């Protein structure tokens, strides 16, 4: 079983001759001003949760966009700061972008173009030439920062995600001998869908600048290889599946802490949860996560099963995200309306079926919610992996709780003992909520222990170790 220690060992044995450079849009630590004091936090999102433990084991440099209002105050003359700020283990190199650059590259091309292109939902991608030019420009800015960090050293570069489709080829143009890998955290579409992007040829060629390209599942790898074939572009990139995961041991340990139990008590009191069946949904507010569908299924469940009125409470937690993009604003409003509608339709003076918790929650509260929940709903319409599902499993040290999981998540390929749903088939989905609530204890325990074994073994350190050993092996062959 891979652990933080064994990954650290692997890094020492195989990577000590190299500087490890990770590149992502979002930084793993953000510094902000609170009055005249500087504070810091780790932002929400699967990517940071997944990669910080890897760099903390390996040391090295993480290159990312500076986004906090105190970020510039804490960097040195070369825009570097040691992190984690309270116990430095590696270097964060911040890249500064103008608002116009962020609009075109991040909000525009990455989030209004590539995100909907790669996720098959009903939201169409928007492709503006101006956004594309800015995306290329920002990929060049990051390539220059990476080159500066590396200098003349031997390095392994690990690029993250769809914000940097062109980065590997730009880095390679400056430094042909480097070993570069990239992990694409979202699905890869079929060629029929991909070619609706006017610049798909350049995107494929850019990604083929990598020595190694990772996706969560074999089916995304297949889609990519077929795209390369159908588009008749060439490259010698190894394309392989590396299913991402969570720090199972840490979450299990943290979830069992006494302060989590105190928080569970206080949530029980605050929301009157005693004696109720508690369900949770816990997502970044994104249209790919199937949140309206989940609320509709809950509505149908209550409509069909009136004996559960007053006995089930669903807590929808999670942060609004990408709020500058119009479609996200619309989603926030729709979720809000659906929740209000449900509470008006069924609520009484002493009971509301849905409790919205749309604010930044601490890890203690998140773990308390996971432990309180008889069932957790992950209803994505399409999701590269989904870490929420794995975190729920990791927190259930009591071997209890039911995971209701959309079959359109990468996680569904690993978590075989979940209760599977097609989130668009509302009647069936409602039936699965009932099934989860009524599942006999013995079956819940059998399923949860099996899920826990899977996530314990296929943890974040295994993900990091497999990608890094592949990359190191490629570097050795050069």
Show the tokens assigned to 318: 């999670």
Q: Is 322 in the site for ligand GDG (CB under 6 A)?
A: no
Of the two residues 105 and 308, which places its CB atom closer to ligand GDG in the complex? 105
Among 157, 339, 388, 467, binds ligand GDG (CB under 6 A): 388
Q: Is 386 in the site for ligand GDG (CB under 6 A)?
A: yes
Q: Is 391 in the site for ligand GDG (CB under 6 A)?
A: yes
Q: Is 214 in the site for ligand GDG (CB under 6 A)?
A: no
CB of 207 to ligand GDG, least distance (A): 17
Torsion angle of alpha carbons 204, 207, 213, 219, nearest 10°?
-20
Q: Is 331 in the site for ligand GDG (CB under 6 A)?
A: no
CB of 286 to ligand GDG, least distance (A): 6
Q: How far is CA 308 from the centre of its chain?
A: 33
Show the tokens assigned to 244: 């991402």
CB of 266 to ligand GDG, least distance (A): 17
Q: Find the distance separating the first CA and the last CA of the chain, reported in whole Å.
A: 30
Total residues contacting ligand GDG (rule CB under 6 A)?
25
Of the two residues 178 and 285, which places its CB atom closer to ligand GDG in the complex? 285
Q: What span, in angstroms and rounded, lies between the C-alpha atoms of 95 and 73?
A: 14
Distances (CA, A) of 320 to 262, 301, 325: 27, 26, 11
Q: What span, in angstroms and rounded, lies between the C-alpha atoms of 137 and 174?
A: 15
Q: Which stretch binds ligand GDG (CB under 6 A): 20-28, 45-53, 172-180, 272-280?
A: 45-53
Binding mask 239-278 for ligand GDG (x = CB under 6 A): -----x----------------------------------
Q: Is 45 in the site for ligand GDG (CB under 6 A)?
A: yes
CB of 84 to ligand GDG, least distance (A): 16
CB of 387 to ligand GDG, least distance (A): 3
Q: Is 104 in the site for ligand GDG (CB under 6 A)?
A: no
Q: Is 319 in the site for ligand GDG (CB under 6 A)?
A: yes
Among 360, 398, 407, 476, binds ligand GDG (CB under 6 A): 360
Show the tokens assigned to 353: 């079926």
CB of 327 to ligand GDG, least distance (A): 15
Residues 6+ away with beta carbon under 8 Å from 278: 312, 313, 314, 315, 372, 373, 374
CA atoms 435, 407, 218, 187: torsion sign: negative
For residue 224, which of 198, 186, 167, 178 has the smallest C-alpha distance? Answer: 186
Residues 361-380 that bind ligand GDG (CB under 6 A): 361, 366
Q: Is 320 in the site for ligand GDG (CB under 6 A)?
A: no
Helix/strand/coil for 285: strand
Q: What span, in angstroms and rounded, lies between the C-alpha atoms of 313 and 352?
A: 7
For residue 299, which of 347, 267, 332 has the smallest C-alpha distance? Answer: 347
Beta strands in 323-411 (DSSP E): 354-357, 375-378, 402-406
Binding residues vs ligand GDG (CB under 6 A): 44-47, 49-50, 185-186, 244, 282-284, 317-319, 360-361, 366, 383-388, 391
């Amino acid at each position: 079983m891979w652990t933080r220690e064994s990954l650290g060992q692997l890094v020492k044995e195989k990577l000590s001759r190299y500087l490890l450079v990770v590149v992502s849009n979002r930084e793993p630590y953000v510094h902000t001003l609170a009055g005249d004091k500087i504070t810091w936090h780790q932002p929400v999102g699967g990517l940071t949760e997944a990669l910080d433990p890897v760099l903390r084991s390996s040391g090295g440099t993480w290159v990312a966009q500076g986004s906090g209002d105190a970020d510039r105050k804490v960097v040195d003359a070369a825009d570097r700061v040691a992190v984690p700020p309270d116990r430095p283990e590696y270097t964060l190199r911040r890249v500064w972008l103008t608002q116009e650059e962020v609009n075109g590259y991040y909000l525009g091309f990455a989030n209004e173009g590539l995100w909907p292109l790669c996720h098959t939902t009903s939201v169409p991608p928007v492709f503006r030439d101006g956004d594309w030019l800015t995306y290329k420009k920002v990929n060049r800015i990051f390539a220059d920062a990476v080159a500066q960090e590396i200098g003349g050293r031997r390095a392994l570069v690990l690029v993250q995600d769809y914000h940097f489709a062109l980065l590997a080829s730009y880095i390679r143009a400056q430094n042909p001998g480097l070993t570069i890998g990239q992990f694409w955290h979202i699905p890869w579409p079929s060629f029929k869908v991909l070619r609706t992007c006017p610049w798909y040829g350049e995107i494929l060629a850019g990604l083929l600048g990598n020595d190694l390209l990772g996706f969560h599942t074999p089916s995304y790898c297949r889609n990519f290889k077929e795209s390369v074939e159908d588009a008749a572009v060439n490259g010698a990139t190894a394309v392989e599946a590396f299913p991402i995961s969570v720090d199972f041991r840490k979450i299990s340990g943290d979830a069992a802490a006494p302060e989590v139990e105190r928080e569970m008590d206080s949530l029980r009191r605050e929301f009157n949860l005693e004696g109720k069946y508690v369900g949770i949904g816990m997502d970044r507010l994104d249209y790919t996560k199937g949140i309206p569908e989940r609320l509709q299924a809950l509505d149908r469940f209550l409509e069909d099963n009136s004996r559960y009125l007053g006995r089930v409470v669903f807590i929808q937690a999670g942060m609004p995200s990408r709020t500058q993009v119009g479609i996200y604003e619309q989603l926030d409003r729709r979720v809000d309306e659906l929740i209000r509608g449900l509470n008006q339709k069924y609520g009484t003076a002493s009971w509301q079926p849905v409790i919205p918790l749309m604010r930044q929650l601490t890890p203690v509260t998140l773990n308390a919610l996971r432990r309180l929940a008889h069932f957790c709903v992950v209803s994505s319409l399409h999701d590269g992996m989904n870490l929420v599902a794995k975190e729920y499993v990791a927190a259930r040290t009591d071997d209890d709780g039911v995971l209701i999981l959309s079959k359109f998540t990468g996680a569904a390929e690993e978590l075989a003992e979940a209760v599977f749903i097609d989130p668009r088939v509302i009647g069936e989905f409602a039936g699965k909520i009932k099934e989860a609530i009524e599942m006999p204890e013995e079956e819940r325990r059998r399923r949860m222990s099996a899920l826990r074994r899977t996530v314990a073994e296929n943890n974040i350190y295994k993900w990091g170790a497999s990608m890094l050993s592949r990359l190191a092996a490629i570097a050795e062959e050069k």
